[in-house]
A and B are shown apart, each in its own frame.
Chain A
Amino acid sequence: MLDSLHILNYRCFREFRLNKLARVNLLLGKNNSGKTAILEAIMLLATRGDPGMLFQISQRRQDELVYLQAVPGVPLIDFGQFVHGRLTTTSDSGFCISPQLGMRGIRFAIEPLGKQTQRETLPTDLRLPPPDSILRIGPVSDTGFDGETFVWPIGKSGAILFPPNRFPEHPQSGWGASQHVMYLGPGLPTSQELGSMWSFLQKTRGLEQRVYEIVRLMAPDIEDIVFPPAGSEAVFRGAILVGVAGEQNRIPLGNFGDGVRHLLQLAIAICSVAQGGILLLDEIENGLHYSLMPQLWKAIIQAAGERDIQIFAATHSNDCVDALARIAGESSDISTQVAAHQIDNHLSKGISFSGDEIRIAVEHEIEVR
């Protein structure tokens, strides 16, 4: 589990530290305070600098991918978007994310062309223009790069001159029940998305039951969930069906409120993340009624403990924080597992509140926003 996080030069953060991380962490702050950037930084650290993650992040943030006239239709990663300030090729350009300053983190560094060693071949795509500098990605410690690094071509504009769909498999990448880090964004998942998550989950025995257990923490009448079989093109026909106690026929998931759909997605995600892994939730409380939140938190915290997962949830919902505080107040087992962190990219570190402090804040009507 991460105890702390140190970010250098990533997006809106010149330098930012998060300390006193707990098993379940709430990230609080206004829009544009940098909460999503922090989730991304954790993803990049947890996937050991997989460039495919840069692509996923760019896709999620709209308008970040770039297209060159020379090769229309080929999306490229605009590396400049990831770096705080202007992109240059000076020695401290690029960004770095580590559990703690000096500890083995991941660095994404821009270096002048020609700095690659003889053994390193720059992967190139002949359709694309020649590079201007190189992007070196790899583990870093106090003294600089410390381990195997990978190099990529970068253009003058900051674009990574290599098509993302041809990135080679990174040691940490890949979906599946053994996934180490997972991100859930705001918005309701489609049945298709739920279905593909479900089919990967099924690779490992026993996880289905765990999903039902989590769902039942909030909806005790649900007995099972049946997904329509995937066709060879993974196109879904038919609805996801939910078996409910006392009902002969299963009921389409669509007949239930949004809450159950959100919960199902969350339950599948929690079970999909490998033990010891990290789950990142970005404003997933949207669309959930505030009365459901305390139970939802309880379910999340319990499952996180059982599966040994660390969770980071970004929110700007007061209801969300209130609900967490109420749960934290109920038992010290729970309050030691949670923390809330105020994120503000104008400051150099997060302001952290332990589970107990969250409880005190709610009792005294102190707003922790």
Chain B
Amino acid sequence: MIAAGNNISRLHVEGTDDQHSIIHLLQRNGITFDPPPVDIHVEGNDSRLIEAIPVAIKAAKNRSVGFVIDIDTTPTDRWAAIRNKVRSIAGDFPSLTNSLPTEPSQTGTIIEIPEITSHVGFWLMPDNRMHGGKLENLLDTLVTPGDPLRSIAEIAANQSRLYGAEFAPQDQIKATLHTWLAWQKEPGRPYGTAIKARYFGNNSPVAIDFVSWFKLLFAIK
């Protein structure tokens, strides 16, 4: 197995957008990645991430392990799927039978597994409660409030449908943000670089909550 450094903790994320956005957001909030304090591992998609949960937790003796996943549909469904995966290893770690709360915490969930001196954390993008939410919704909160380009981008994205644009309704926010990014000083930067270039801010309430959850889970000062 590819060792991400023998004792380094890991954060599992869905895609490379999540990975880069998170790394740059954390760096904008004072966390250095040289060397990376945590291995941020891309799973590819939500099903793969959820599939990995039981084994990733089991293998996390004396470490922390975190999971960032888009809510996508309804928060309750997503959380139920996660709870099932966690409960599936309660036979090995009895403390897990009831330690995961029935609802995700709004500031990110962290539980302890005393049997293996570990902590497990879950963050449902963007804010642990939004129906139909994803990474882009968190990034949206980092756009300067009142930025006119953001309003025009949304209008343009809406109007594009009249001209045959094919993106799905749930991807509206993605279309809007990418449109907005197309109009920045360096047009078309991907999310991570755009955060670094300060097109996005770094301290909306939900971003601050995310950074705090990360620091608490991985014991970073």
Contact = CB atoms under 8 A, between A and B. Distances in A.
A367 B7 CA distance: 10
Interface in A272-312: none
A78 B146 CA distance: 80
A366 B6 contact: no
Interface string B174-195: 0000000000000000000000
A365 B56 contact: no
Contact of A368 (B4, B59, B92): B59
Interface stretch (B14-22, B46-54, B207-215): B46-54
Interface stretch (A117-125, A243-251, A354-362): A354-362
Interface string B22-51: 000000000000000000010100001001
Contacts of A351: 58-59, 61, 92, 116
Contact of A366 (B1, B61, B92, B116): B1
B39 to A, nearest CB: 9
A322 B116 CA distance: 23
Contacts of B10: 366
A358 to B, nearest CB: 8
Contact of A364 (B6, B52, B61, B115): B52
A353 B1 CA distance: 14
B216 interface: no
Interface in A324-369: 325, 342, 344, 347, 351-353, 357, 360-362, 364-369
B168 interface: no
Nearest to A352: B92
A209 interface: no
B162 interface: no
A172 interface: no
A305 to B, nearest CB: 25
Interface string B54-77: 111011010000000000000000
Contact of A367 (B2, B12, B51): B2
Q: What is the interface of chain B mostly: helix, strand, loop, or mixed?
A: mixed
B136 to A, nearest CB: 25
Given A352-B92, A360-B52, A360-B55, A365 B1 contact: yes
Contacts of A369: 1, 3, 6
Interface string B84-113: 000000001000000000000000000000
Contact of A318 (B3, B41, B43, B56): B3
A366 B55 contact: yes
Contacts of A353: 55, 58-59
A362 B51 contact: no
A321 interface: yes
Contacts of B59: 351, 353, 361, 366-368
Contacts of B2: 365, 367
Nearest to A362: B1
Given A351-B58, A353-B58, A367 B4 contact: yes
Contact of B52 (A318, A344, A366): A366
A125 B54 CA distance: 57
A367 B92 CA distance: 18
Contacts of B92: 351-352
B56 A344 contact: no
A351 B60 CA distance: 10
A347 B116 contact: yes
Interface in A23-54: none
Contacts of B56: 364, 366
A367 B58 CA distance: 10
Contacts of A342: 61
Contacts of B61: 342, 344, 347, 351
A360 B51 contact: yes
Contacts of A325: 1
Contacts of A364: 12, 41, 43, 48, 51-52, 55-56
B165 to A, nearest CB: 35
A321 B2 CA distance: 11
Nearest to A348: B115
Contacts of B115: 347
Contacts of A366: 1, 10, 52, 55-56, 59
A344 B118 CA distance: 15
B220 to A, nearest CB: 21
Nearest to B115: A347
Contacts of B52: 360, 364, 366
Interface in A255-283: none
Nearest to A359: B55
Contacts of B58: 351, 353, 357
A365 B116 contact: no
Q: Name, among B4, B6, B52, B59, the residue most crowded by chain A CB atoms within 10 Å (CB to CB).
A: B59
A361 B1 contact: yes
Given A357-B55, A366-B1, 6 more contacts: A318-B1, A342-B61, A347-B61, A361-B1, A364-B41, A364-B56
10 contacts: A321-B1, A322-B1, A344-B61, A347-B116, A351-B61, A361-B55, A364-B41, A364-B48, A364-B56, A368-B55
In the A-B complex, list the 4 residue pairs whose CB atoms are closest, starting with the nearest.
Answer: A364-B52, A367-B1, A365-B2, A360-B55
